[in-house]
């Protein structure tokens, strides 16, 4: 029986050893608020590559200081940040995996207290406490957070330029694929959504206007990075509320992304509407991925509570996605990929030789 999860995948000139990827997950572990990766990041990302992931996507990395979710986020607006990523990409490569990075601007959800280590996780961080004035498509606030300033045209141009500069640095740091964060209520998603984009200029109104910022960033980044390097976009394909950016609009956007040279869309959901009724449960976003894959022919990755090897295999075997991303399950068990490979076909090839003695019994039994 073919094991789809363990099959390689080629996008442009990049071949990834399998279809089990780790999605971006913020660590809020930058020490000096300078966006520079630390030994934690080296250990953290290296452990997933050692643990059998095909590609490891580095967490949401801000393209400008104002675009950080919190002061503890990674950044890629200067060369010191680029240089600190090199050991990570080298380690990931040495372990046989590909290294991706998610480039991000948090928009109106920036300048918040990090998820851990502070008194009010997720609350707006006042300027007096090291926070900053946020920006968005319009001056409308996300529930409970400080109101942003609406970006003017010069501000939008600067955001596009910042994504390009960060992508260039990512390439210099040895990154193999770039993902643009267009999900979870951050800046690009805020522009896409009629709930947060109240503009009346060419960046608002109909879907073509709301998608203009995303498509400008895609075009500019595509021009910046090597033609053989894959470019991915993560979208929230549903906001799970009436009147929000929905699967119908997402289908149109994905078709445009395909025409603009995007190689894969990662299909997530939510993040822009307070009180959304999200049907959280095993594989709860997979049907969104399947819909987009079938309607647009765009390769997609599915994510969201895909926690078991045979569940992941089923998603691929039934043609719902081209890649499965496993997040929290990899945090709980950084060897998740090795265990999946053993469960699916008793194959120990992916086990690093240094660790094979620990797996002898399982390999004999298979
Ligand atoms: C996340 N998630 C996330 N998403 C994203 O696009 N960029 C990010 O930087 C982060 N950060 C982050 C941190 C942590 C600690 C968690 C748990 C999650 C969402 C993540 O990529 C993924 O989509 C969800 O966790 C759902 O997948 P799992 O965990 O159910 O496999």
Separation of CA 59 and ligand 1 centre (Å): 8
Residue 150, C-beta contacts closer than 8 angstroms, at least 6 positions apart: 135, 136, 137, 138, 139, 199
d(CA 126, CA 124): 6
Could you tell me the pLDDT band of residue 345, with boundaries at 50, 70 and 90? confident
Nearest to 251 by CA among 270, 232, 267: 267
| Lowest-pLDDT range of 128-137, 192-201, 209-218, 347-356 | 347-356
What are the pocket residues of ligand 1 if the criterion is a CB atom closer than 6 Å to any ligand atom? Answer: 23-26, 59-60, 102, 181, 183-184, 234, 268, 303-306, 326-329
Query: How far are the Cα atoms of 2, 96, 132, 248, 265 from residue 302, in angstroms, in the given order?
Result: 19, 22, 34, 18, 9
Separation of CA 26 and ligand 1 centre (Å): 7
d(CA 262, CA 232): 6
d(CA 276, CA 138): 21
Separation of CA 285 and ligand 1 centre (Å): 13
* The CATH number of the domain covering residues in 4-365: 3.20.20.70
How does pLDDT run across 133-153, given as a tens digit for each residue? 999 999 999 999 999 999 999
How does pLDDT run across 171-198, given as a tens digit for each residue? 999 999 999 999 999 999 999 999 999 9
Tell me how many helices (H) and strands (E) the chain has.
12, 13
Nearest to 23 by CA among 101, 81, 91: 101
Residue 2 has a pLDDT of 64
SS3 275: coil
Mean pLDDT value across residues 240-259 = 97
Cα dihedral 266, 51, 58, 14 sign = negative
Domain boundary assignment for the chain: 4-365
d(CA 104, CA 61): 5
Indicate the top mutation candidate among 21, 22, 24 to test ligand 1's pocket, ranked by most ligand atoms within 8 A of CB: 24
Token pair, residue 225, equals: 């990075």
Cα dihedral 22, 262, 104, 91 sign = positive
How does pLDDT run across 313-331, given as a tens digit for each residue? 999 999 999 999 999 999 9
């Amino acid at each position: 029986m073919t094991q789809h999860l363990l099959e390689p995948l080629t996008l442009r000139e990049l071949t990834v050893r399998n279809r089990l990827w780790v999605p971006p997950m913020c660590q809020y572990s930058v020490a000096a608020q300078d966006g520079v990766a630390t030994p934690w990041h080296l250990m953290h990302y290296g452990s997933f590559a050692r643990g059998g992931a095909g590609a490891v996507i580095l967490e949401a990395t801000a393209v400008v200081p104002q675009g950080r979710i919190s002061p503890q986020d990674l950044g890629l607006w200067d060369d010191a940040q680029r240089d600190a990523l090199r050991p990570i990409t080298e380690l990931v490569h040495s372990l046989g995996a590909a290294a991706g990075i998610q480039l991000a601007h948090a928009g109106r959800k920036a300048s918040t207290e990090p998820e851990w280590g502070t008194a009010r996780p997720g609350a707006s961080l006042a300027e007096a406490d090291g926070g900053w004035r946020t920006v968005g498509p319009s001056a409308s606030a996300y529930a409970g957070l400080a109101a942003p300033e609406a970006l003017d045209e010069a501000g939008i141009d600067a955001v596009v330029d910042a994504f390009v500069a960060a992508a260039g640095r990512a390439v210099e740091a040895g990154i193999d694929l770039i993902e643009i964060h267009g999900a979870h209520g951050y800046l690009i998603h805020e522009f896409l959504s009629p709930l947060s984009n109240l503009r009346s200029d060419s960046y608002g109104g109909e879907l073509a206007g709301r998608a203009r910022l995303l498509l400008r960033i895609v075009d500019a980044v595509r021009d910046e990075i090597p033609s053989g390097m894959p470019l991915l976009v993560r979208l929230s394909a549903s906001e799970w509320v009436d009147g929000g950016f929905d699967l119908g609009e997402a289908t149109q956007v994905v078709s445009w992304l395909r025409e603009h040279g995007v190689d894969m869309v990662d299909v997530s959901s939510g993040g822009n509407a307070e009180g959304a009724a999200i049907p959280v449960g095993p594989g709860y976003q997979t049907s969104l991925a399947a819909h987009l894959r079938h309607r647009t022919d765009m390769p997609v990755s599915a994510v969201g509570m895909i926690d078991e090897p045979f569940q992941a295999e089923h998603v691929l075997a039934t043609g719902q996605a081209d890649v499965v991303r496993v997040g929290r399950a990899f945090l709980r068990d950084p060897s998740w990929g090795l265990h999946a490979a053993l469960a699916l076909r008793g194959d120990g090839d992916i086990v690093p030789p240094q660790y094979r003695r620990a797996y002898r019994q399982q390999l004999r039994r298979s």
